[in-house]
């Protein structure tokens, strides 16, 4: 997490992450629960959007949630406090310089983090070192290349590619979701099993039209307008056309599809 | 079904459809069953790949399976006979000139058919006319634009676009899956519910690597080499590079994702 965070750390971004967490909780997290007394490292907790869900779903597990950003951690602490969580400790730390003993956690949880790293496999190796043999690692990442929609629009794809290019320029990878399996295998995890979690949105699911298509995905693309134009990635009129096309898919005949990938692997006992 | 069938009617194509049906049966059909005594129209049965699955899963329903191609129907009859099915009648007919009375079927089933039609909404209206009020229509279609993979490859996408262009030139739409919801709504069906069915393939699923990534999808793209080159859509070397890139994703670190869309709607009682 040593490079710039391409999404920024603005209040609007926090709202986006919060909406996203609300709409996607069941899809992403329904099958994650940790047993009583187990210790879980949440690596890259950001503003705590996933932390609240995680800690609520496993109230008798103890979480250590780290992030490199003090500002994000302050938000995460506030959010956890407001939720009345007593089973989370927040620690400011870099994934590549972790202040924990080897094999000191029963489980590791990594969500929306690899997309920001230029050495994702190395990060997983570091985190695996903190895991007790027999413990699990869970990795969840999105993939902007999975986005497809109706009406289809080259302009919308061009605007999306700006976000992908900016994230790549910052050392990240907005297409990392499809790589969760090979990255976990490369890091030496055992029995890796990846499952896709597609967010499918049509007019019969108005909460997702608002909360995901418009409030999460389109808002994220709109959020890179200034850096995309500043970097000369696209003409202003082309970017606007792309954003308009993304709003068009929130109309009654529109459809939007986006896929997250969730992988779970085990650290082989010695 | 009045235009050319872009995949052709060759033995290799039949093998492809057969492999595809085998690998995808549960994903696509596990939640489809028709009650005892109900009558079901399967529109566009082709060589019967889905017919056998359908009729076996609903042994006490009676199926009428139509196709415009006499050659395909002959194969379908042979296949149904080999499977010992006694609840299927095959009829040669065009979806736009159906030899059945209005409201004469309890259910309609349409799988991998709209992708070949230049007037898919009109076809659904015709089929809805044959449905008794309160009956269901089920529509299943793939979407080549949903394909994404690791390693990513512009050459592979270019080869895939050849198939999409040829299907469009023949009056079809290889990206129709994402449109199942608006098409069914446009046809006047009620309570339409669409669910995505993603085929996710990595090295932990060797049957799908062989049966789907290589045996179905890549084989389909390889199958359009001659028409794609004849139409001047791509240079031979570029097409070969795309096919090689698709084979590359069947290696141990490769990942392939493809989504089918399944919609179910009801004909509103008068």
Tens of pLDDT, residue by residue over A37-57, are 999 999 999 999 899 999 999
| Contacting residues for B86 by C-beta, under 8 A, at least 6 apart | none
Angle between helices B49-57 and B11-29 (to 10 degrees): 30
The answer to whether the CB atoms of A254 and B148 lie below 8 A apart is: no
Q: What is the pLDDT of residue A6?
A: 53
pLDDT at A99: 96
Along chain B (270 residues), what's the average pLDDT of each consecutive run of 10 residues?
44 52 78 97 96 95 97 97 96 96 98 96 97 98 98 98 98 98 98 97 94 94 98 98 98 98 94
pLDDT beyond 70 at A26: yes
- Which of left, alpha, beta for A191 (phi over 0: left; psi -120 to 50: alpha)? left
CA distance B147 to chain A (A): 8
What CA–CA distances, in Å, run from A53 to A80, A88, A199, B110? Answer: 10, 12, 18, 40
Whether residue A180 is predicted with pLDDT greater than 70 in this model: the reply is yes
Burial class of residue A237 in the structure, from the number of CB atoms within 10 Å of its CB (0-12 exposed, 13-18 middle, 19+ buried)? exposed
Number of alpha carbons in the 13 Å side-chain half-sphere of residue A164: 16
Please indicate whether, in this complex, the C-beta atoms of B152 and A143 are within 8 angstroms of each other. Answer: no
What pLDDT is stored for residue A1 in this prediction? 32
Contact A253 B149 (CB under 8 A): no
- Alpha-carbon gap, residue A233 to A230, rounded angstroms: 8
Q: Which site among B151, B181, B265 would you substitute to test the A interface, given the most A Cβ atoms closer than 10 Å to its Cβ?
A: B181
pLDDT tens-digit series, residues A76-86: 999 999 999 99
Are A178 and B143 inside 8 Å of each other by CB?
A: no
Residue B8 has a pLDDT of 47
Distance CA A188, CA A194 (A): 15
As a whole number, the mean pLDDT across chain A is 93
Q: Which residues pair with A260 in a beta bridge?
A: A142, A197
DSSP 8-state code for residue B217: I
CA gap A158, A156 in Å, rounded: 5
Report pLDDT digits (tens) over A83-123: 999 999 999 999 999 999 999 999 999 999 999 999 999 99
pLDDT, tens only, A126-174: 999 999 999 999 999 999 999 999 999 999 999 999 999 999 999 999 9
CA-closest candidate to residue A127, choices A81, A171, A93, A153: A93
DSSP string, chain A: --S--TT---HHHHHHHHHHHHHHHHHHHTT----TT-EEEEE--TTSHHHHHHHHHSTTSEEEEEES-HHHHHHHHHHHHHTT--SEEEEE-BTTB--S-TT-EEEEEEES-GGG-S-HHHHHHHHHHHEEEEEEEEEEEEEEEEEEEES--HHHHHHHHHHHHHHHHTT--TTGGGGHHHHHHHTT-EEEEEEEEEEEE-TT-HHHIIIIIIIIIIHHHHTTHHHHHHTTSS-HHHHHHHHHHHHHTTSTT-EEEEEEEEEEEEPPP-
How many CA atoms are closer than 13 Å to the CA of A205, on its beta-carbon side? 20
Q: In the prediction, which pLDDT does A13 show? A: 54
Q: Does B146 sit within 8 Å of A148, measured CB to CB?
A: yes
How much is the pLDDT for A21? 47
Residue-level pLDDT at B150: 98
More confident: B3 or A238: A238
Residue of chain A nearest B179, judged by CA positions: A150
CA distance B85 to B27: 22
Residues of chain B with a CB closer than 8 angstroms to some CB in chain A: 143, 145-146, 148-150, 152, 175, 178-179, 181-182, 185-186, 192-196, 198, 200, 202-204, 252-255, 257, 259
pLDDT for residue B26 = 86
Cβ contacts (< 8 Å) between B182 and chain A: which residues? 150, 202, 253-255
Least CB–CB distance from B196: residue in A182, A185, A200: A200
Minimal CA–CA distance to B59: which of B33, B98, B24? Answer: B33
Nearest by CB to B149, from A178, A203, A259: name it.
Answer: A178
- Crossing angle for the helix pair B236-248 and B154-169, to the nearest 10 degrees: 110
Kindly tell me if the per-residue pLDDT of A2 is higher than 80. Answer: no
Overall average pLDDT of the A17-36 stretch: 78
pLDDT of A14 strictly over 60: no
pLDDT at residue number A270? 75
pLDDT for A233 beyond 50: yes
Quote the percentage of chain A above a pLDDT of 70. Answer: 91
Q: Cβ of B185 and A145 within 8 Å? A: no
């Amino acid at each position: 997490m040593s490079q710039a965070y391409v999404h920024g750390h603005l209040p609007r971004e926090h709202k986006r992450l919060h909406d996203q967490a609300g709409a996607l909780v069941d899809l992403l997290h329904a099958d994650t629960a940790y047993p009583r007394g187990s210790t879980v490292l949440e690596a890259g907790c950001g503003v705590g959007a996933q932390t609240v869900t995680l800690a609520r779903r496993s109230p008798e597990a103890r979480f250590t949630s780290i992030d490199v950003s003090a500002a994000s951690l302050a938000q995460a602490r506030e959010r956890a406090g407001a939720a009345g969580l007593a089973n989370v400790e927040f620690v400011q730390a870099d994934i590549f310089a972790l202040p924990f003993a080897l094999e000191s956690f029963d489980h590791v949880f990594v969500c929306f983090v690899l997309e920001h790293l230029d050495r994702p496999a190395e990060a997983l190796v570091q985190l695996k070192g903190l895991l007790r043999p027999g413990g699990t690692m869970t990795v969840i990442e999105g993939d902007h290349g999975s986005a497809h929609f109706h009406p289809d629009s080259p302009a919308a794809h061009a605007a999306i590619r700006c976000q992908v290019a900016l994230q790549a320029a910052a050392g990240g990878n907005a297409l990392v979701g499809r790589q969760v399996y090979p990255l976990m295998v490369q890091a030496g995890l055992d029995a890796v099993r990846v499952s896709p979690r597609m967010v499918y949105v049509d007019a019969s699911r108005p909460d997702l039209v608002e909360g995901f298509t418009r409030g999460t995905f389109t808002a994220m693309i709109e959020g890179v307008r200034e850096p995309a134009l500043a970097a000369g990635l696209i003409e202003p009129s082309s970017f606007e056309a792309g954003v308009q096309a993304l709003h068009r898919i929130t109309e009654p005949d529109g459809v939007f599809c986006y896929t997250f990938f969730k992988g779970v692997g085990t650290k082989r006992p010695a």
